[in-house]
Structure 1
């Protein structure tokens, strides 16, 4: 994979479009990316990662998509990144834009700009035709990852080589190292295997515990069903004994129940026979007593029958008398109605002439002629009310027209005033962005101007401390070299101290030692050299820290002076005060814009509304006045006609009501006279019918017939009494005539109670015996069924226990426990193999950069307090021959080890993924910890990387690298945003 060109706009600290030509930068195979801290060096690497994968590496991965946009960019500048690269012979152009909020083109507020991505083929291997481009975000991501052959995490680790992460990886514990390796080598599937075994063991354990619990519960249910306590360890012997005892008890209770049932049947038969005899005696005794009581009431029953027959014969005479009474009442009512109708007709002006029908017809005819005049009178009253309403409406309309005309005359002056105020507010608002930017710039510049003196003091102090640290390191190094030389000079004596008679010499191999060297006074020991070496390393580390602090302090002063451009603090303060006053005045004036805009809208709406209302009011006044004139003439003409029609009455309706009332009264008088004549005729007819009914019933006169009459209720009661007596007598004789009562004496005594008590006792004994038998049989069936289930549960439990024991042992081995003596899990074992490959690959470069002193050593020894092993990584020091923890390395040595580890890991991951050849690499920071000699060794290693055609980009602010690397890309930082500058030579 080789990068050609990177384009970015409004991305990170870059507000405008910037272009990085990697072909020009990589012409020499090595280039430097440098600039001030925070200028945006690492952002260029983020842009490469974002173009390929749509995300950024490291701690910045948590940034939201909208936070990638430059806050200093213009609203019209889109946030976008485009990368042109060659991978596996495909030359591609990948472009991406993150999701962010941008100002709306119309109106206020913001709108969401969606994320976009595109992939275009510029050229294909062997000149083939390029396929169509891709525009879907997910398709672009899948295609880029397929061509690169590695995930985003792997790419970030093997192409962007973050030194800080590898330094932490070098010193980290097993858990942190395991997380990094898992992310790079994708060993999640082995973790899934470990989890699968753990889950299977938990599942099988739960199943086994459930089986054991079910078996114990079944044993408890068997014991409960048999009515005894369950033993602590139930077995088949206990179960067989229990079943036999339950069967014997069931057979005994069944036999006892059969005997009790036979005794109950005999007792119940005896009781039934005595109850039937007692019932026959009761029926005979009751019928005999009933006949004796009825014989004593024969005279009373005969009198009831005579009274009933006479009342029945008097019914027609009573009905005729009632009809006569009703006819006489009708005559009286008809006479009263004639008198009332006559008086009412006279009160209405009737002259008591004989022609009633003619007078009623004449009154009704006159009333009909007045029907139209009544309706016209109603319209007259409604039109009079309408005249009043029209007059009021016309008056109100004229007043409204005058008010609206006055309002229309006042509006133009108010509109002109509001427009002038709005123009002033908008002009002030237009000045605010420029004033805001100027205030921010002057505030920052004033802060920088006031910080210059202290920054210069810090730079001078840092320079003094750096000089002192260099001197101290030189002294420590000279002492180490002196001690090392003195130890070499006395090495013969040191070796001689270890000689023993008969043992071979480690130098010459001879077992004889005729003249062993003797130590001189003040000789140097191995401990002395180690102490001096430790002191030299501490001095070197202090020197590096002091030089870094000096460089940072000097860079801070240079940046402050460059940003001030010769301006003093007093001049900046005066200029800032003037701008603040101007900004406050403009801000106060700009805040009135919304108020003036609202007043203009209100005035415009009021003007349109007033004009429309004035036109409508004038139209309504004209219409009301015209209607009032027309209606006035119509009312006058109608009033003359109605005056003639009402005559001597209040109005036409009153005259018409009078005529109709007179006609109705005459009709009623005529009907009353006819009803009186008919009622007299009916009285004569009913008197004759009454005499005929009395004679036909056999009574001497009407009084006798009415005396014999009885109400219907009394008649029904007499008939019911006679019938009840006759029915009781017949029922009693029917009972005594029944065959089963022949020969039964009414005074016979039957003993039923003793038989009932004997039957009840036999029934209770039978129920108890049958219940005991049923319970015993049910208990036997329940115990037998549960026993079968218990035997089946015991049969299934043995294989399950064996299977669980095997699975638990295997799970412990896979997870680094139990019989796994190394205490390494399956996942750690795989990661340990990968780490061992990384250690081998990294050792080649580390030995070269450390001049053969250091090598990586992989360890699978378990850590303290049961920590799992397999991922240990130490360093072999060839000077001492001892294996050291990586955290004991000095700052410069740690950088060499981290760089070696990063390059070795990149080689292993690239080989593991089978991805594209990595022709472009970036090394991010860490060079500031190296001395001149170590820096030479690192540069030699990087030269080897580019010897095969690779392009290596170094990201650093170390000054010495600017002298060594001619091709440089500088990132300049300013308040308006960062920019790029390409330098060569």
Structure 2
């Protein structure tokens, strides 16, 4: 890939459009990119990387960071690159994703990433993914390979030189795609780990089986020893069959004892049933005797209570006879209650009339106040109509002056446009006249030279033996020589036509300029006449300023007058409203005053009626005892309740006595029947004693059943566990052989074999690339250091835990020592880093199918080099740029500025942006 032209728009520090024409370098050789710090030198590499791969050249320069902060909001950020590859020319345009002002409304919106690729056959790719894939196919390198081979970014030199084996593994993995070997390592390791986990799981299963096993005696002691890993499992497996046989014999003996207990419990259950029936009959006889005793006592108590209640009724009969007289007084109390209710209702009516009077008085006062207030406001608004008329006249005057001002402003703009058009026409005329004068001089010079060279032109046509057209001689010993600058007749004719064309253009430009000047004069006269009506004392040059001042004054006066007119309109509307409302207010005030008088009369009538009702209530109250009707009613209610409760108690006690006599008679009859029935079967043992014996027998049976189940479960568990242990032991033997094989393969691929170098499979593959890279790097390093230094692989790892194979040492041929590359000085480290980077570039090109890089870009400081080392590095770069390769270098070193004459010079601008300029010798 060789760049031809690079165009940047609003990219990085380049705010406007910046064009880098690499074709001016001739397509090959070394050139320098120089300029102020931070001016944007590395940005050129970012632009190239972004155009090809959609990302910058640095790890921290993301696409969204490439937008220029100096660009105007409407300026679009994009990069356009035209390049050549294998004789074909391609063109790619890219735009990064960034925030830009929204086209509609306010705020910002996201500008999406864009990409276009024009192919030599005329087709175009317009999707970002398609462009990325096609460019990688054209170049033959992905972005990581390109940055390691064709564009070596700042800081990447020492990173590769001083990297550890692990870090260099990661670098080579990206460049040479050795991740498949790392994948194989991980696959083998995963297989080994899986076997280990499977073996551990199997051992856990064996241990779980041993923990479930429940042998006794010697077998149990041996099981504990196996769990402690003190004895092998095989011994336990051989002893378990005998233990199982003894356990089965014990289970059968316990089952026989349990059956004997079942028969004993059946006999005890039958005896308990018989004993409980006899005890039940004796208990019933005792309960009936107690019931008869309680019945006789209750019957005596009920008869005594009946006698007491009947005596009490006789004593209270005289009081109950007063009830009819009390009931006869109730109607008279009701008449008094109605009189009191009428008096209370009239009192409420008097209060309501008082409230009505107060409300009528308040309404009358409010109507009078509203009337007075409206009359006062009407007098204050009497001049509202005149003020409104003055505002309307003022508005008409301001509008007329504003229209005149607008006309003057349009003429001022027309005059300014005509003035600028005249200036442009004058510039065109001056340029046309200058071009005509130059064409006139060129033609005159050529004509004089043409006349002076006529002899030479005739001499060119002379032939030996042919007469001269001037002197007639057939011999031409000294023919005149035509001056080298003599123009041809065709050239002279071309210059003459150019002179005529220039004359015509100058004449047309002069006519156009004259016409514009005439039109400008007319517009000035018209503008002056019309402006004099507004600004009679203003000079012509101040018309625009006067018009702007007058516009501000008119705007302010119009706004003030409009506000005043709005206020006057509101006052006039209010005056008219009050004029219409005042008659209604006067009538309302009169009506409210009349309502107040009617309310006063109604209150007097209500008070008079109340006095009559109070007198009638007093007359009714004099005819009755001092007690209230409610007291009389409460006395009647108490006597009635007392009488009712006594009668009900008498009836209830009589019924209860009759029921008690009947219950006592039934109990005596049932007792006689029980006494007559004798228990012929007497038992010496009670039911309680028999139940205790049964419980003891059931407890013994339960213990035997539990022991039988425990022995059965243990026997079943031990048999199943024994079979499981035998199967697991066979499985363990097979898995152990598989684990040993998988671990050996994994340790070999991971570089973990004891006593061997710690070189992983991926590192072993990378060693081939590393050796080839060192071979090419040392050719350049030996040249730059005059044969002193050579890079070699370290023979030992940095520490016992580290992987080995890709570490670097340097051989000092002057002292014959081998030491770490970290011991090199700053200048020596740069030389070694540059050589290593170029060696990596050659190796990657070879690995990528013989791809040739027609252009390289190096961004690295040369300031640490001595004069000799700088000269050697420069020779290396010149050798690198030999042939058809174009090599660009970024540096601030003054010596390089002197030695590399072809340059791209970057300068900062006063406004913060940058510009780029190509400098050629």
- TM-score (ref. length: structure 1): 0.58
The residue aligned with 2:174 is 183
Residues 1:50 and 2:50 are matched in the alignment: yes
The residue aligned with 1:634 is 588
Structure 1 residue matching 2:773: 3-state secondary structure? helix
Which whole-Å CA distance do the structure 1 matches of 2:133 and 2:697 have between them?
93
Residues 1:118 and 2:115 are matched in the alignment: yes
> How many Å apart are 1:14 and its aligned residue?
4.0
The residue aligned with 1:153 is 144
Structure 2 residue matching 1:50: 3-state secondary structure? helix
Deviations 1:283-335 (A, max 9, x none): 24544676688789999999999999x99xx99xx99x99x977654432124
Which whole-Å CA distance do the structure 1 matches of 2:813 and 2:162 have between them?
20
The residue aligned with 2:3 is 3
Residues 1:281 and 2:282 are matched in the alignment: yes
Deviations 1:461-491 (A, max 9, x none): xxxxxxxxxxxxxxxxxxxxxxxxxxxxxxx
Which whole-Å CA distance do the structure 2 matches of 1:971 and 1:342 have between them?
119
Which whole-Å CA distance do the structure 2 matches of 1:292 and 1:876 have between them?
131
Query: Is contact 1:875–1:883 with CA below 8 Å preserved after alignment?
Result: yes
Deviations 1:196-249 (A, max 9, x none): 443444444344334323432332232499996641215313544543444333
Query: Is contact 2:285–2:671 with CA below 8 Å preserved after alignment?
Result: yes
Taking structure 1 as reference, are residues 970 and 717 closer, same or farther at Cα in structure 2, changes over 3 Å only? same
Q: Which of 649, 666, 669 is equivalent to 1:713?
A: 649
Within 5 Å, which residues of 2 pair with 1:641-680? 643=597, 650=603
Deviations 1:16-75 (A, max 9, x none): 4321101112345443334455554333222212333343334xx324667655566666
Deviations 1:561-600 (A, max 9, x none): xxxxxxxxxxxxxxxxxxxxxxxxxxxxxxxxxxxxxxxx
Within 5 Å, which residues of 2 pair with 1:328-477? 329-338=326-335, 380=360, 383-384=363-364, 386-387=366-367, 390=370
> How many Å apart are 1:902 and its aligned residue?
3.0
Which whole-Å CA distance do the structure 2 matches of 1:645 and 1:707 have between them?
58
Which whole-Å CA distance do the structure 1 matches of 2:837 and 2:345 have between them?
132
Which whole-Å CA distance do the structure 2 matches of 1:856 and 1:338 have between them?
137
The residue aligned with 2:208 is 217
Within 5 Å, which residues of 2 pair with 1:28-177? 28-35=28-35, 39-58=39-58, 61-63=59-61, 68=66, 79-87=77-85, 91-98=89-96, 111=108, 114=111, 116-121=113-118, 123-124=119-120, 128-134=121-127, 136=128, 140-162=131-153, 165-166=156-157, 169-170=160-161, 172-177=163-168
Q: Which of 835, 838, 845 is equivalent to 1:903?
A: 838
The residue aligned with 2:749 is 814
Within 5 Å, which residues of 2 pair with 1:797-946? 797-818=732-753, 821-842=756-777, 865=800, 867-872=802-807, 898-914=833-849, 917-925=852-860, 929=865, 935=871, 939=875, 942-943=878-879, 946=882
> How many Å apart are 1:814 and its aligned residue?
1.0
Structure 2 residue matching 1:150: 3-state secondary structure? coil
Query: Is contact 1:147–1:916 with CA below 8 Å preserved after alignment?
Result: no
| Backbone CA RMSD of aligned residues | 5.8
Runs of 5+ consecutive residues of structure 2 not aligned to the other structure = 227-232, 383-557, 625-641
Query: Is contact 1:211–1:797 with CA below 8 Å preserved after alignment?
Result: yes
> How many Å apart are 1:2 and its aligned residue?
1.9
Query: Is contact 1:287–1:733 with CA below 8 Å preserved after alignment?
Result: no
Which whole-Å CA distance do the structure 2 matches of 1:747 and 1:865 have between them?
101
> How many Å apart are 1:804 and its aligned residue?
2.7
Which whole-Å CA distance do the structure 2 matches of 1:645 and 1:301 have between them?
77
Taking structure 1 as reference, are residues 878 and 627 closer, same or farther at Cα in structure 2, changes over 3 Å only? same
Query: Is contact 1:99–1:112 with CA below 8 Å preserved after alignment?
Result: no
Deviations 1:133-156 (A, max 9, x none): 33x5x5554443344332222111
Taking structure 1 as reference, are residues 924 and 333 closer, same or farther at Cα in structure 2, changes over 3 Å only? closer
> How many Å apart are 1:733 and its aligned residue?
2.6
Which whole-Å CA distance do the structure 2 matches of 1:982 and 1:887 have between them?
39
> How many Å apart are 1:836 and its aligned residue?
2.4
The residue aligned with 1:231 is 224
Query: Is contact 1:813–1:819 with CA below 8 Å preserved after alignment?
Result: no
Which whole-Å CA distance do the structure 1 matches of 2:777 and 2:341 have between them?
139
The residue aligned with 2:261 is 260
Taking structure 1 as reference, are residues 331 and 46 closer, same or farther at Cα in structure 2, changes over 3 Å only? same
Deviations 1:355-382 (A, max 9, x none): xxxxxxxxxxxx9xx9x99999798456
Which whole-Å CA distance do the structure 1 matches of 2:683 and 2:828 have between them?
135
> How many Å apart are 1:817 and its aligned residue?
1.4
> How many Å apart are 1:158 and its aligned residue?
0.8
- TM-score (ref. length: structure 2): 0.62
> How many Å apart are 1:618 and its aligned residue?
8.3
Taking structure 1 as reference, are residues 751 and 88 closer, same or farther at Cα in structure 2, changes over 3 Å only? same
Which whole-Å CA distance do the structure 2 matches of 1:883 and 1:374 have between them?
126
Taking structure 1 as reference, are residues 5 and 658 closer, same or farther at Cα in structure 2, changes over 3 Å only? farther
Query: Is contact 2:299–2:660 with CA below 8 Å preserved after alignment?
Result: no
Which whole-Å CA distance do the structure 1 matches of 2:643 and 2:819 have between them?
148
Which whole-Å CA distance do the structure 2 matches of 1:780 and 1:634 have between them?
117
> How many Å apart are 1:826 and its aligned residue?
1.2
Which whole-Å CA distance do the structure 2 matches of 1:383 and 1:873 have between them?
112
Query: Is contact 2:357–2:599 with CA below 8 Å preserved after alignment?
Result: no
How many pairs were matched up?
Answer: 707
Query: Is contact 2:258–2:705 with CA below 8 Å preserved after alignment?
Result: yes
Query: Is contact 2:751–2:803 with CA below 8 Å preserved after alignment?
Result: yes
Which whole-Å CA distance do the structure 1 matches of 2:644 and 2:110 have between them?
116
Deviations 1:425-467 (A, max 9, x none): xxxxxxxxxxxxxxxxxxxxxxxxxxxxxxxxxxxxxxxxxxx
Which whole-Å CA distance do the structure 2 matches of 1:801 and 1:389 have between them?
116
> How many Å apart are 1:815 and its aligned residue?
0.6
Structure 2 residue matching 1:257: 3-state secondary structure? helix
Residues 1:733 and 2:669 are matched in the alignment: yes
The residue aligned with 1:701 is none
Higher mean alpha-carbon deviation, 178-187 vs 784-793, is at: 784-793
Query: Is contact 1:285–1:747 with CA below 8 Å preserved after alignment?
Result: no
Query: Is contact 1:383–1:631 with CA below 8 Å preserved after alignment?
Result: no
Structure 2 residue matching 1:81: 3-state secondary structure? strand
Query: Is contact 1:271–1:756 with CA below 8 Å preserved after alignment?
Result: yes
Query: Is contact 1:208–1:797 with CA below 8 Å preserved after alignment?
Result: yes
Deviations 1:953-975 (A, max 9, x none): 34445566566655332334565
The residue aligned with 2:184 is 193
Query: Is contact 1:280–1:741 with CA below 8 Å preserved after alignment?
Result: no
Taking structure 1 as reference, are residues 728 and 850 closer, same or farther at Cα in structure 2, changes over 3 Å only? same
Taking structure 1 as reference, are residues 727 and 228 closer, same or farther at Cα in structure 2, changes over 3 Å only? farther
Query: Is contact 2:9–2:76 with CA below 8 Å preserved after alignment?
Result: yes
Which whole-Å CA distance do the structure 2 matches of 1:400 and 1:140 have between them?
84
Which whole-Å CA distance do the structure 2 matches of 1:911 and 1:106 have between them?
53
Structure 2 residue matching 1:219: 3-state secondary structure? helix
Structure 1 residue matching 2:126: 3-state secondary structure? coil
The residue aligned with 1:979 is 915
Query: Is contact 1:876–1:884 with CA below 8 Å preserved after alignment?
Result: yes
> How many Å apart are 1:832 and its aligned residue?
0.9
> How many Å apart are 1:655 and its aligned residue?
7.9
The residue aligned with 2:526 is none
Which whole-Å CA distance do the structure 1 matches of 2:873 and 2:292 have between them?
148
> How many Å apart are 1:159 and its aligned residue?
0.7
> How many Å apart are 1:178 and its aligned residue?
2.7
Which whole-Å CA distance do the structure 1 matches of 2:644 and 2:21 have between them?
143
Deviations 1:620-655 (A, max 9, x none): 7976796575244235246547757975x5257768
